[in-house]
Protein backbone atom coordinates (compact mmCIF):
# COMPACT_ATOMS: atom_id res chain seq x y z
CA UNK A 1 0.00 0.00 0.00
CA UNK A 2 1.32 3.42 -0.94
CA UNK A 3 2.24 5.72 1.95
CA UNK A 4 1.91 9.46 2.42
CA UNK A 5 5.66 9.77 2.17
CA UNK A 6 5.74 7.96 -1.19
CA UNK A 7 2.96 10.18 -2.51
CA UNK A 8 4.86 13.22 -1.27
CA UNK A 9 7.94 12.03 -3.15
CA UNK A 10 5.98 11.57 -6.37
CA UNK A 11 4.43 14.99 -6.00
CA UNK A 12 7.81 16.59 -5.50
CA UNK A 13 8.66 15.57 -9.07
CA UNK A 14 5.90 17.79 -10.40
CA UNK A 15 6.75 21.38 -11.16
CA UNK A 16 4.70 24.53 -10.94
CA UNK A 17 3.50 25.94 -14.27
CA UNK A 18 6.24 28.15 -15.70
CA UNK A 19 8.52 27.62 -12.70
CA UNK A 20 11.36 25.38 -11.58
CA UNK A 21 9.95 24.90 -8.13
CA UNK A 22 8.19 21.65 -7.35
CA UNK A 23 4.64 21.70 -6.02
CA UNK A 24 5.63 20.35 -2.60
CA UNK A 25 8.30 22.94 -1.91
CA UNK A 26 6.18 25.75 -3.30
CA UNK A 27 3.47 25.06 -0.74
CA UNK A 28 0.95 24.07 -3.43
CA UNK A 29 0.37 20.71 -1.72
CA UNK A 30 -1.27 21.46 1.61
CA UNK A 31 -2.25 18.03 2.86
CA UNK A 32 -2.13 14.32 2.05
CA UNK A 33 -4.64 11.92 3.55
CA UNK A 34 -4.67 8.24 2.78
CA UNK A 35 -7.27 5.79 3.92
CA UNK A 36 -6.43 2.35 2.57
CA UNK A 37 -6.46 2.75 -1.23
CA UNK A 38 -8.25 6.13 -1.14
CA UNK A 39 -5.97 9.08 -1.65
CA UNK A 40 -7.00 12.63 -0.97
CA UNK A 41 -4.72 15.51 -1.85
CA UNK A 42 -5.41 19.09 -0.88
CA UNK A 43 -3.89 21.80 -3.06
CA UNK A 44 -3.96 25.57 -2.72
CA UNK A 45 -5.20 27.95 -5.41
CA UNK A 46 -4.05 31.56 -5.19
CA UNK A 47 -6.72 34.20 -5.65
CA UNK A 48 -4.86 35.51 -8.68
CA UNK A 49 -4.80 32.13 -10.41
CA UNK A 50 -7.45 31.10 -12.88
CA UNK A 51 -9.17 27.74 -13.02
CA UNK A 52 -7.28 26.72 -16.11
CA UNK A 53 -3.93 26.97 -14.31
CA UNK A 54 -5.25 24.80 -11.49
CA UNK A 55 -6.66 22.26 -13.93
CA UNK A 56 -3.16 21.88 -15.41
CA UNK A 57 -1.70 21.17 -11.96
CA UNK A 58 -4.50 18.71 -11.19
CA UNK A 59 -3.84 16.92 -14.45
CA UNK A 60 -0.13 16.65 -13.67
CA UNK A 61 -0.98 15.13 -10.28
CA UNK A 62 -3.46 12.69 -11.78
CA UNK A 63 -0.91 11.57 -14.37
CA UNK A 64 1.80 11.16 -11.79
CA UNK A 65 -0.50 8.95 -9.68
CA UNK A 66 -2.02 7.14 -12.63
CA UNK A 67 -1.85 3.80 -10.80
CA UNK A 68 -4.13 5.07 -8.07
CA UNK A 69 -7.77 4.60 -8.99
CA UNK A 70 -9.24 6.29 -5.96
CA UNK A 71 -7.65 9.70 -6.20
CA UNK A 72 -9.50 12.82 -5.14
CA UNK A 73 -8.01 16.30 -5.36
CA UNK A 74 -9.55 19.08 -3.28
CA UNK A 75 -8.75 22.72 -3.92
CA UNK A 76 -8.72 25.42 -1.28
CA UNK A 77 -8.30 29.12 -1.97
CA UNK A 78 -5.16 30.13 -0.08
CA UNK A 79 -1.72 31.63 -0.43
CA UNK A 80 1.06 29.14 -1.11
CA UNK A 81 2.88 28.56 2.16
CA UNK A 82 5.60 26.07 2.90
CA UNK A 83 3.59 23.02 3.83
CA UNK A 84 3.99 20.31 6.43
CA UNK A 85 4.50 17.76 3.68
CA UNK A 86 8.10 18.87 3.21
CA UNK A 87 8.63 18.20 6.85
CA UNK A 88 7.25 14.71 6.54
CA UNK A 89 9.42 13.90 3.60
CA UNK A 90 12.39 14.81 5.73
CA UNK A 91 10.97 12.88 8.64
CA UNK A 92 10.94 9.70 6.58
CA UNK A 93 14.73 9.84 6.66
CA UNK A 94 14.65 9.14 10.35
CA UNK A 95 14.89 5.39 10.60
CA UNK A 96 12.50 3.41 12.73
CA UNK A 97 15.37 2.52 15.07
CA UNK A 98 16.03 6.14 15.62
CA UNK A 99 12.56 6.47 17.14
CA UNK A 100 12.34 4.70 20.44
CA UNK A 101 8.69 5.61 20.85
CA UNK A 102 6.24 3.04 22.08
CA UNK A 103 2.72 4.44 21.87
CA UNK A 104 0.91 1.87 23.95
CA UNK A 105 -2.16 4.09 24.20
CA UNK A 106 -2.68 4.58 20.43
CA UNK A 107 -2.49 8.33 20.83
CA UNK A 108 -2.13 9.02 17.13
CA UNK A 109 -5.18 6.91 16.28
CA UNK A 110 -8.48 5.68 17.76
CA UNK A 111 -9.83 2.64 19.59
CA UNK A 112 -13.14 1.91 17.83
CA UNK A 113 -11.69 -1.41 16.62
CA UNK A 114 -12.32 -2.74 20.11
CA UNK A 115 -15.96 -1.60 20.13
CA UNK A 116 -17.19 -2.99 16.84
CA UNK A 117 -20.45 -4.19 18.44
CA UNK A 118 -21.39 -0.53 18.95
CA UNK A 119 -20.31 0.29 15.40
CA UNK A 120 -22.52 -2.53 14.17
CA UNK A 121 -25.51 -1.19 16.09
CA UNK A 122 -24.89 2.22 14.55
CA UNK A 123 -24.70 0.65 11.09
CA UNK A 124 -28.12 -0.91 11.71
CA UNK A 125 -29.42 2.60 12.37
CA UNK A 126 -29.94 2.09 16.10
CA UNK A 127 -29.87 5.04 18.46
CA UNK A 128 -26.54 4.21 20.02
CA UNK A 129 -25.23 5.55 23.30
CA UNK A 130 -21.93 7.42 23.05
CA UNK A 131 -18.94 5.35 24.10
CA UNK A 132 -17.16 8.32 25.60
CA UNK A 133 -17.94 11.79 26.95
CA UNK A 134 -15.59 14.74 27.28
CA UNK A 135 -17.10 16.57 30.21
CA UNK A 136 -16.46 19.82 32.02
CA UNK A 137 -17.65 20.22 35.61
CA UNK A 138 -16.37 23.81 35.98
CA UNK A 139 -16.78 26.51 33.38
CA UNK A 140 -13.67 28.64 33.86
CA UNK A 141 -9.98 28.47 34.61
CA UNK A 142 -7.20 30.00 36.70
CA UNK A 143 -4.95 30.18 33.65
CA UNK A 144 -5.58 31.98 30.37
CA UNK A 145 -3.60 30.04 27.76
CA UNK A 146 -3.14 31.74 24.41
CA UNK A 147 -4.63 28.85 22.41
CA UNK A 148 -7.61 28.21 24.70
CA UNK A 149 -11.02 28.54 23.04
CA UNK A 150 -12.51 29.80 26.32
CA UNK A 151 -10.05 32.68 26.24
CA UNK A 152 -10.30 33.60 22.57
CA UNK A 153 -14.08 33.44 22.70
CA UNK A 154 -13.96 35.61 25.85
CA UNK A 155 -16.12 33.19 27.82
CA UNK A 156 -17.05 34.01 31.41
CA UNK A 157 -14.69 32.53 33.99
CA UNK A 158 -11.45 32.57 32.02
CA UNK A 159 -8.33 34.56 32.94
CA UNK A 160 -9.26 37.93 34.42
CA UNK A 161 -12.89 36.83 34.53
CA UNK A 162 -12.11 34.00 36.92
CA UNK A 163 -14.65 35.18 39.52
CA UNK A 164 -17.40 34.19 37.12
CA UNK A 165 -16.53 30.50 37.19
CA UNK A 166 -19.57 28.26 37.38
CA UNK A 167 -19.49 24.78 38.90
CA UNK A 168 -22.04 22.18 37.88
CA UNK A 169 -23.90 21.03 41.03
CA UNK A 170 -22.38 17.87 42.42
CA UNK A 171 -25.68 15.96 42.31
CA UNK A 172 -26.12 16.68 38.60
CA UNK A 173 -22.58 15.48 37.90
CA UNK A 174 -23.10 12.26 39.85
CA UNK A 175 -26.47 11.60 38.24
CA UNK A 176 -24.88 12.07 34.84
CA UNK A 177 -22.11 9.58 35.66
CA UNK A 178 -24.76 7.10 36.76
CA UNK A 179 -27.01 7.67 33.73
CA UNK A 180 -24.07 7.49 31.38
CA UNK A 181 -22.97 4.19 32.80
CA UNK A 182 -26.49 2.80 32.62
CA UNK A 183 -27.03 3.66 28.96
CA UNK A 184 -23.66 2.20 27.91
CA UNK A 185 -21.11 5.03 28.04
CA UNK A 186 -17.76 3.37 28.74
CA UNK A 187 -15.63 6.30 29.81
CA UNK A 188 -15.74 9.95 30.80
CA UNK A 189 -12.83 12.38 30.64
CA UNK A 190 -13.05 15.50 32.77
CA UNK A 191 -11.81 17.64 29.97
CA UNK A 192 -13.01 20.13 27.53
CA UNK A 193 -14.00 23.38 29.04
CA UNK A 194 -12.61 24.74 32.29
CA UNK A 195 -10.18 23.63 34.98
CA UNK A 196 -12.11 20.88 36.71
CA UNK A 197 -9.90 20.64 39.80
CA UNK A 198 -11.38 24.02 40.84
CA UNK A 199 -14.73 22.38 41.46
CA UNK A 200 -15.36 22.50 45.26
CA UNK A 201 -16.50 18.85 45.19
CA UNK A 202 -13.79 17.63 42.83
CA UNK A 203 -12.51 14.77 45.02
CA UNK A 204 -15.99 13.64 45.96
CA UNK A 205 -16.91 13.55 42.26
CA UNK A 206 -13.96 11.46 41.13
CA UNK A 207 -14.40 9.11 44.08
CA UNK A 208 -17.99 8.59 43.00
CA UNK A 209 -16.78 7.63 39.51
CA UNK A 210 -14.66 4.93 41.11
CA UNK A 211 -17.51 3.83 43.36
CA UNK A 212 -19.73 3.08 40.35
CA UNK A 213 -16.79 1.58 38.42
CA UNK A 214 -16.75 4.18 35.65
CA UNK A 215 -13.56 4.66 33.64
CA UNK A 216 -12.68 8.24 34.48
CA UNK A 217 -9.79 10.50 33.53
CA UNK A 218 -8.72 14.12 33.91
CA UNK A 219 -6.86 16.79 31.99
CA UNK A 220 -5.64 19.58 34.23
CA UNK A 221 -3.43 22.65 34.19
CA UNK A 222 -1.83 21.09 37.28
CA UNK A 223 -1.93 24.11 39.59
CA UNK A 224 -4.43 22.75 42.09
CA UNK A 225 -3.28 19.28 43.03
CA UNK A 226 -3.88 18.71 46.71
CA UNK A 227 -0.91 16.74 48.09
CA UNK A 228 -3.04 15.34 50.88
CA UNK A 229 -5.39 13.80 48.35
CA UNK A 230 -2.99 12.24 45.86
CA UNK A 231 -4.25 8.75 46.66
CA UNK A 232 -7.83 9.69 45.80
CA UNK A 233 -6.68 10.98 42.42
CA UNK A 234 -4.51 7.96 41.69
CA UNK A 235 -7.12 5.47 42.77
CA UNK A 236 -10.07 7.11 41.01
CA UNK A 237 -8.60 7.93 37.63
CA UNK A 238 -7.38 5.73 34.80
CA UNK A 239 -5.18 8.56 33.62
CA UNK A 240 -4.34 12.15 34.41
CA UNK A 241 -2.82 14.54 31.91
CA UNK A 242 -1.07 17.78 32.74
CA UNK A 243 -1.62 20.30 29.96
CA UNK A 244 1.69 22.09 29.95
CA UNK A 245 3.01 23.78 26.84
CA UNK A 246 6.29 25.34 27.94
CA UNK A 247 9.74 24.13 28.90
CA UNK A 248 10.94 27.38 30.49
CA UNK A 249 9.42 29.82 32.94
CA UNK A 250 9.57 32.57 30.36
CA UNK A 251 7.52 30.66 27.80
CA UNK A 252 5.22 29.40 30.53
CA UNK A 253 4.35 32.99 31.42
CA UNK A 254 3.89 33.85 27.73
CA UNK A 255 1.67 30.86 26.90
CA UNK A 256 -0.20 30.17 30.12
CA UNK A 257 -0.08 33.76 31.38
CA UNK A 258 0.63 32.84 35.00
CA UNK A 259 3.85 32.38 36.90
CA UNK A 260 3.20 28.87 38.20
CA UNK A 261 5.59 26.57 36.38
CA UNK A 262 7.46 25.39 39.49
CA UNK A 263 4.24 24.60 41.23
CA UNK A 264 2.85 22.59 38.30
CA UNK A 265 6.06 20.58 37.93
CA UNK A 266 6.21 20.05 41.70
CA UNK A 267 2.67 18.68 41.62
CA UNK A 268 3.49 16.33 38.73
CA UNK A 269 6.58 15.09 40.58
CA UNK A 270 4.62 14.48 43.76
CA UNK A 271 1.93 12.57 41.92
CA UNK A 272 4.45 10.43 40.00
CA UNK A 273 6.35 9.68 43.22
CA UNK A 274 3.20 8.66 45.07
CA UNK A 275 2.12 6.55 42.12
CA UNK A 276 5.26 4.47 42.51
CA UNK A 277 4.89 4.23 46.29
CA UNK A 278 1.39 2.80 46.10
CA UNK A 279 1.97 0.95 42.84
CA UNK A 280 -0.95 2.69 41.17
CA UNK A 281 -1.87 1.91 37.56
CA UNK A 282 -3.02 5.47 36.89
CA UNK A 283 -1.11 6.79 33.85
CA UNK A 284 0.36 10.27 34.23
CA UNK A 285 1.29 12.36 31.22
CA UNK A 286 2.21 15.78 29.89
CA UNK A 287 0.57 17.22 26.81
CA UNK A 288 1.96 20.10 24.83
CA UNK A 289 0.08 22.10 22.22
CA UNK A 290 2.57 23.45 19.70
CA UNK A 291 2.11 27.06 18.63
CA UNK A 292 4.48 29.46 16.93
CA UNK A 293 5.68 30.63 20.35
CA UNK A 294 6.82 27.40 21.96
CA UNK A 295 8.61 25.28 19.35
CA UNK A 296 11.93 25.69 21.13
CA UNK A 297 10.37 24.36 24.32
CA UNK A 298 9.56 20.91 22.92
CA UNK A 299 12.93 19.38 23.84
CA UNK A 300 13.27 21.03 27.29
CA UNK A 301 9.75 19.88 28.17
CA UNK A 302 10.48 16.42 26.89
CA UNK A 303 13.43 16.29 29.35
CA UNK A 304 11.34 17.76 32.17
CA UNK A 305 8.65 15.10 31.72
CA UNK A 306 11.28 12.41 32.12
CA UNK A 307 12.78 14.10 35.16
CA UNK A 308 9.37 14.44 36.80
CA UNK A 309 8.80 10.71 36.41
CA UNK A 310 5.60 10.86 34.33
CA UNK A 311 4.72 8.07 31.89
CA UNK A 312 4.49 9.98 28.64
CA UNK A 313 4.80 13.30 26.89
CA UNK A 314 2.53 13.89 23.89
CA UNK A 315 3.01 16.72 21.41
CA UNK A 316 0.13 17.82 19.20
CA UNK A 317 -0.37 20.57 16.66
CA UNK A 318 -2.61 23.45 17.67
CA UNK A 319 -6.19 22.95 16.40
CA UNK A 320 -7.24 26.15 14.74
CA UNK A 321 -10.68 27.73 14.43
CA UNK A 322 -12.42 27.55 11.04
CA UNK A 323 -11.42 31.18 10.44
CA UNK A 324 -7.79 30.64 11.61
CA UNK A 325 -8.08 32.95 14.63
CA UNK A 326 -5.22 31.17 16.38
CA UNK A 327 -2.83 31.53 13.46
CA UNK A 328 -1.56 28.04 14.27
CA UNK A 329 1.69 26.89 12.65
CA UNK A 330 1.79 25.34 9.21
CA UNK A 331 5.15 25.51 7.46
CA UNK A 332 6.83 26.33 10.76
CA UNK A 333 6.70 22.64 11.64
CA UNK A 334 9.33 22.13 8.99
CA UNK A 335 11.83 24.16 10.97
CA UNK A 336 10.94 22.02 13.97
CA UNK A 337 11.94 18.75 12.32
CA UNK A 338 15.16 18.28 14.25
CA UNK A 339 13.43 19.37 17.41
CA UNK A 340 10.69 16.75 17.08
CA UNK A 341 13.27 14.08 16.39
CA UNK A 342 15.39 15.12 19.32
CA UNK A 343 12.37 15.15 21.64
CA UNK A 344 11.58 11.53 20.70
CA UNK A 345 15.09 10.56 21.79
CA UNK A 346 14.16 11.16 25.43
CA UNK A 347 11.83 8.16 25.36
CA UNK A 348 12.86 5.28 27.61
CA UNK A 349 11.20 2.00 28.39
CA UNK A 350 9.19 3.78 31.10
CA UNK A 351 8.67 7.10 29.39
CA UNK A 352 7.28 7.64 25.94
CA UNK A 353 7.49 10.81 23.84
CA UNK A 354 4.73 10.76 21.22
CA UNK A 355 4.32 13.18 18.37
CA UNK A 356 0.86 13.21 16.75
CA UNK A 357 2.32 12.85 13.27
CA UNK A 358 -0.95 12.18 11.47
CA UNK A 359 -2.39 15.47 12.59
CA UNK A 360 0.75 17.31 11.57
CA UNK A 361 0.62 15.66 8.15
CA UNK A 362 -2.89 16.44 6.98
CA UNK A 363 -2.60 20.21 6.83
CA UNK A 364 -5.78 20.44 8.94
CA UNK A 365 -7.83 19.03 6.04
CA UNK A 366 -10.54 16.42 6.62
CA UNK A 367 -10.81 13.66 4.02
CA UNK A 368 -14.43 12.92 4.88
CA UNK A 369 -17.58 14.83 4.10
CA UNK A 370 -19.75 14.08 7.12
CA UNK A 371 -19.24 13.88 10.86
CA UNK A 372 -20.58 10.71 12.49
CA UNK A 373 -18.17 10.85 15.40
CA UNK A 374 -20.47 12.85 17.67
CA UNK A 375 -22.65 9.77 18.06
CA UNK A 376 -19.70 8.04 19.73
CA UNK A 377 -17.99 10.92 21.57
CA UNK A 378 -20.09 13.68 23.12
CA UNK A 379 -19.15 17.01 24.71
CA UNK A 380 -20.57 18.48 27.95
CA UNK A 381 -19.69 22.01 28.98
CA UNK A 382 -18.82 23.07 32.53
CA UNK A 383 -22.30 24.59 32.80
CA UNK A 384 -23.97 21.24 32.19
CA UNK A 385 -24.86 21.90 28.56
CA UNK A 386 -24.89 18.83 26.33
CA UNK A 387 -23.52 19.35 22.83
CA UNK A 388 -22.47 16.98 20.06
CA UNK A 389 -18.92 18.26 20.56
CA UNK A 390 -17.10 21.09 22.31
CA UNK A 391 -16.86 23.10 19.10
CA UNK A 392 -20.43 24.35 19.56
CA UNK A 393 -20.11 25.54 23.17
CA UNK A 394 -19.91 29.05 21.86
CA UNK A 395 -20.72 28.81 18.16
CA UNK A 396 -24.32 28.56 16.91
CA UNK A 397 -25.36 27.39 20.40
CA UNK A 398 -29.08 27.54 19.74
CA UNK A 399 -28.78 25.20 16.82
CA UNK A 400 -26.72 22.54 18.56
CA UNK A 401 -27.59 22.61 22.26
CA UNK A 402 -29.22 19.28 23.13
CA UNK A 403 -30.17 19.98 26.75
CA UNK A 404 -28.73 20.73 30.17
CA UNK A 405 -28.02 18.14 32.87
CA UNK A 406 -29.00 20.51 35.69
CA UNK A 407 -32.49 20.86 34.23
CA UNK A 408 -33.01 17.36 32.88
CA UNK A 409 -31.28 14.05 33.45
CA UNK A 410 -28.63 12.99 30.95
CA UNK A 411 -30.63 9.87 30.18
CA UNK A 412 -33.71 11.92 29.27
CA UNK A 413 -31.59 14.19 27.09
CA UNK A 414 -30.09 11.23 25.27
CA UNK A 415 -33.57 9.76 24.71
CA UNK A 416 -35.09 13.07 23.61
CA UNK A 417 -36.19 13.95 20.09
CA UNK A 418 -33.96 17.01 20.29
CA UNK A 419 -30.79 14.92 20.83
CA UNK A 420 -31.36 12.93 17.68
CA UNK A 421 -32.45 15.97 15.65
CA UNK A 422 -29.18 17.68 16.51
CA UNK A 423 -27.18 14.55 15.64
CA UNK A 424 -28.97 14.48 12.29
CA UNK A 425 -28.20 18.16 11.71
CA UNK A 426 -24.51 17.54 12.42
CA UNK A 427 -24.42 14.74 9.93
CA UNK A 428 -26.37 16.45 7.19
CA UNK A 429 -25.69 20.16 7.48
CA UNK A 430 -22.23 20.65 8.93
CA UNK A 431 -19.45 21.12 6.42
CA UNK A 432 -16.51 19.66 8.34
CA UNK A 433 -13.92 21.61 6.36
CA UNK A 434 -15.75 24.91 6.55
CA UNK A 435 -17.68 25.13 9.81
CA UNK A 436 -15.42 23.16 12.16
CA UNK A 437 -12.06 23.49 13.86
CA UNK A 438 -9.18 21.56 12.32
CA UNK A 439 -8.11 18.21 13.75
CA UNK A 440 -10.94 18.10 16.26
CA UNK A 441 -11.28 15.50 19.00
CA UNK A 442 -13.47 13.22 16.84
CA UNK A 443 -11.16 13.41 13.81
CA UNK A 444 -9.65 9.92 14.03
CA UNK A 445 -12.99 8.17 14.58
CA UNK A 446 -14.63 10.31 11.91
CA UNK A 447 -12.13 9.03 9.38
CA UNK A 448 -12.78 5.44 10.42
CA UNK A 449 -16.59 5.79 10.40
CA UNK A 450 -16.62 7.53 7.06
CA UNK A 451 -14.26 5.19 5.26
CA UNK A 452 -15.26 1.91 6.91
CA UNK A 453 -18.80 2.82 7.98
CA UNK A 454 -20.53 0.84 5.24
CA UNK A 455 -18.33 -2.22 5.57
CA UNK A 456 -19.41 -5.34 7.32
CA UNK A 457 -17.68 -5.60 10.71
CA UNK A 458 -16.57 -9.13 9.83
CA UNK A 459 -14.63 -7.64 6.92
CA UNK A 460 -13.21 -4.94 9.19
CA UNK A 461 -12.05 -7.57 11.68
CA UNK A 462 -10.39 -9.50 8.89
CA UNK A 463 -8.75 -6.44 7.32
CA UNK A 464 -7.37 -5.22 10.63
CA UNK A 465 -6.66 -8.61 12.18
CA UNK A 466 -3.08 -7.82 13.13
CA UNK A 467 -3.88 -4.38 14.43
CA UNK A 468 -6.76 -5.68 16.57
CA UNK A 469 -4.45 -8.25 18.15
CA UNK A 470 -2.26 -5.41 19.40
CA UNK A 471 -4.80 -4.19 21.91
CA UNK A 472 -3.71 -0.88 23.47
CA UNK A 473 -4.27 0.16 27.07
CA UNK A 474 -7.36 2.23 27.93
CA UNK A 475 -9.55 0.96 25.08
CA UNK A 476 -12.63 2.63 26.56
CA UNK A 477 -11.11 6.05 25.93
CA UNK A 478 -11.75 5.84 22.20
S1 LIG B 1 -16.18 17.45 12.65
FE2 LIG B 1 -17.09 19.33 13.43
S3 LIG B 1 -19.06 18.72 14.32
FE4 LIG B 1 -17.83 16.88 14.05
S5 LIG B 1 -16.81 16.62 16.00
FE6 LIG B 1 -15.39 17.76 14.71
S7 LIG B 1 -15.80 19.91 15.18
FE8 LIG B 1 -17.54 18.71 15.95
Instruction: Give the Å distance between the CA of 209 and the centre of ligand 1.
Output: 27
Does the C-beta of 391 come closer than 6 Å to ligand 1?
yes
User: Strands, DSSP E only, in 328-406?
Assistant: 352-355, 377-380, 385-387, 403-404
The b-or-e profile of 242-271 (16+ CB within 10 A means b, else e) is: bbbbbbeeebbebbbbbebbeebbebbeeb
Instruction: Give the Å distance between the CA of 412 and the centre of ligand 1.
Output: 23
What is residue 162's predicted lDDT score, i.e. its pLDDT?
Answer: 63
Does the C-beta of 314 come closer than 6 Å to ligand 1?
no
Nearest CA to ligand 1 atom 5: 442
Nearest CA to ligand 1 atom 2: 436
What is residue 58's predicted lDDT score, i.e. its pLDDT?
Answer: 95
Instruction: Give the Å distance between the CA of 92 and the centre of ligand 1.
Output: 30
Contact yes or no for 22/14 (Cβ under 8 A) = yes
User: Strands, DSSP E only, in 312-396?
Assistant: 312-317, 352-355, 377-380, 385-387
Classify strands 38-45 and 29-35 as parallel, antiparallel or unpaired: antiparallel
What is residue 324's predicted lDDT score, i.e. its pLDDT?
Answer: 66
DSSP secondary structure letter of residue 375: G
Question: Which residues of the chain fall below pLDDT 70?
Answer: 1, 5, 82-103, 159-162, 319-337, 357-361, 363
CA distance 235 to 240: 11
Backbone φ and ψ of 283, nearest 5° = -90, 130
Contact yes or no for 194/165 (Cβ under 8 A) = yes
What is residue 227's predicted lDDT score, i.e. its pLDDT?
Answer: 97
Backbone φ and ψ of 55, nearest 5° = -60, -35
What is residue 80's predicted lDDT score, i.e. its pLDDT?
Answer: 83
Does the C-beta of 192 come closer than 6 Å to ligand 1?
no
* Secondary element (H or E) of residue 80: none
What is residue 418's predicted lDDT score, i.e. its pLDDT?
Answer: 98
DSSP secondary structure letter of residue 160: G
Classify strands 132-135 and 352-355 as parallel, antiparallel or unpaired: unpaired
What is residue 97's predicted lDDT score, i.e. its pLDDT?
Answer: 43
In angstroms, the Cα distances linking 328 to 75, 190, 257, 354 are 20, 25, 18, 20
Nearest CA to ligand 1 atom 4: 371
User: DSSP assignment of 245-310, as one string?
Assistant: --SSHHHHHHHH-SS-HHHHHHHHHHHHHHHHHHT---EEEEEEEE-TT-GGGHHHHHHHHHHHT-
CA distance 461 to 463: 6
What is residue 235's predicted lDDT score, i.e. its pLDDT?
Answer: 98
Instruction: Give the Å distance between the CA of 431 and the centre of ligand 1.
Output: 9
Q: Residue 66: count other Cβ atoms within 10 Å of its Cβ.
A: 8
What is residue 103's predicted lDDT score, i.e. its pLDDT?
Answer: 63
Q: Residue 48: count other Cβ atoms within 10 Å of its Cβ.
A: 7
Q: Within 13 A of 325's CA, how many CA atoms are on the CB side?
A: 13
Instruction: Give the Å distance between the CA of 372 and the centre of ligand 1.
Output: 9
Q: Which of 323, 392, 442, 447 to mutate to test the pocket of ligand 1 (most atoms within 8 A of CB)?
A: 442
What is the CA angle 401-156-403, rounded to 5?
15
Contact yes or no for 132/189 (Cβ under 8 A) = yes
β-sheet with 283-290: strand ranges across:
352-355, 312-317, 283-290, 239-243, 215-220, 187-190, 132-135, 377-380, 385-387, 403-404
Helices and strands in the chain, H and E counts: 20, 13
327: left (phi over 0), alpha (psi -120 to 50) or beta: left
What is residue 69's predicted lDDT score, i.e. its pLDDT?
Answer: 79
- Give the position, in ligand 1's atom list, of the atom nearest the Cα of 437: 7
Amino acid sequence: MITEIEIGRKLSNIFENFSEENIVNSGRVQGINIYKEKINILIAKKKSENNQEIEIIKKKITNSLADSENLKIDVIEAELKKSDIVHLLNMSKASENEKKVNDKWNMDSHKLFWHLDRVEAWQRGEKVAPLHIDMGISSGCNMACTFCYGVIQNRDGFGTNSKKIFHTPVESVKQTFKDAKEIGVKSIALIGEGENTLHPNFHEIISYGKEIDLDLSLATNGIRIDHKKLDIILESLKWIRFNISAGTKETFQKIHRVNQMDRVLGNARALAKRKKEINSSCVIGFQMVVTKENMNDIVPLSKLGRECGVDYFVVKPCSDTFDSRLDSPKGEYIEALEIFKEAEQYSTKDYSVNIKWKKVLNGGWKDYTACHGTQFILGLSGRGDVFPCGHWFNERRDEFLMGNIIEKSFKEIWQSKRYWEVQEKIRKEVNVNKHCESNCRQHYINRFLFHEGKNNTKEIKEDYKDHILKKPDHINFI
